[in-house]
Structure formats: structure tokens, C-alpha cells
Amino acid sequence: MSTSTSTKKFAAAAFVACLLVASGCRQDMGDQPKYRPQAPSDFFADGRSGRPLIEHTVARGSIADDDLVIPKDSNAFPLPVTQELLDRGQDRYKIFCTPCHGAQGDGHGMIAVRGMKIPPSFHLDRLRQSPVGYYFDVVTNGFGAMYSYSVQIPPRDRWAIIAYIRALQLSRNAKAADLPADLRQQLSSGGTGK
């Protein structure tokens, strides 16, 4: 058999294969019946193709209307800071924050010990002076290597954690003059309370 004959047979076989493959390309998905946005419809009684929202539906992104969500630059605490809130914050801090930020908030958690990027200490002047809205935004949306905790931590617990972080910051930067008189007396007597 000559080379030209085998080439012709190969070309014919390739052409038939292409025809078979091409015959399988149909536009059923592209040609399916569908409605364009705001198009009229005979199917529904009200004549609209777009359906109204179900009652009590919360639109995506409308959670920003929540009372516990404040602007990033706000320093207003939306909850009363109580001992119960601080205890809850300490508990949540130990669960969610200690692995990276450490028990004292200095950035020396186990993640940093294991070689990951060290997060900033909460005791830096920059973070001590940051408004509480900044902390809420970072916990909610993440920042740098820290990912968002908005799914894992509900807003009330985020505020509890922020209150506890503020208590941690105060614990390292409090002045004796800011203490009540009885505690200053105890401090000046060497902590014995006598």
C-alpha cells in the first residue's frame, strides 16, 4: 500500500471522527427556556418572572444593621462590661486567640513557637490606642495572616473577647494612682493587706 493511500485513509478516518464528535455538540443548555431579569411571565399569577422575597428574609450583607456592629473607628462599647462578660471573654480568648496571641496577649502562642509568623503583641502602643471597633473588624473580617472568625465566634462573644483584651492591656499598663485606695494601701504594704 502506498504512502499516499494510507494518508488518504487516515485523513478520511479523521474527518469521520470529527463529524461524529461535532454531531454530539448540541446547545440544549444554551437554548433552554429561561427568563431574563425583570421579564414578564405568563406562568405566575402576578405576571412577574422575578419572585418576591420570602417574609423575614435577611438580605446578604444586612447583618451590618445589627446593634453589636459598630464602625471600625468607633471606641463605643455596645455592651455593658461586667465581670460575667470578662469571664466569657477570657474563656473564648483561651479557645480562639491563645494559639497565636498567647495567654498574655504578647504574640507568643504555640503557633509562633512552631515557626509561623508571630502576631503583634496587644501591648504595643499602636494596639493599645486602637479603638474597639478596629478589634471587632479584625476578628470579624481577619487581617494579615489572621483569617475571619465571623463564622466561629458570634458577635456577643467577639465583644467579650475584646473586653478581655482590654483587661489584658490594662493589666500591663495600669498606674498605681488608678487603683482604688484599699488596693493602693495593699500594694504599698507589700501585698500583705496589713
Domain boundaries of the chain, sorted by first residue: 72-173
Residue of 39, 62, 58, 79 lying closest to 164 (CA atoms): 79
Q: In this predicted model, what pLDDT tens digit does every residue of 48-94 receive, in sequence order?
A: 888 888 888 776 665 655 788 888 989 999 999 999 999 999 999 99
Distance (Å, rounded) from C-alpha 78 to C-alpha 120?
25
- pTM for the structure as a whole: 0.64
| 72-173: CATH topology | Cytochrome Bc1 Complex; Chain D, domain 2 (1.10.760)
Does 192 have pLDDT greater than 70?
no
Q: In this predicted model, what pLDDT tens digit does every residue of 156-186 receive, in sequence order?
A: 999 999 999 999 999 888 787 877 888 888 8
Distance (Å, rounded) from C-alpha 124 to C-alpha 94?
20
Does 17 have pLDDT greater than 60?
yes
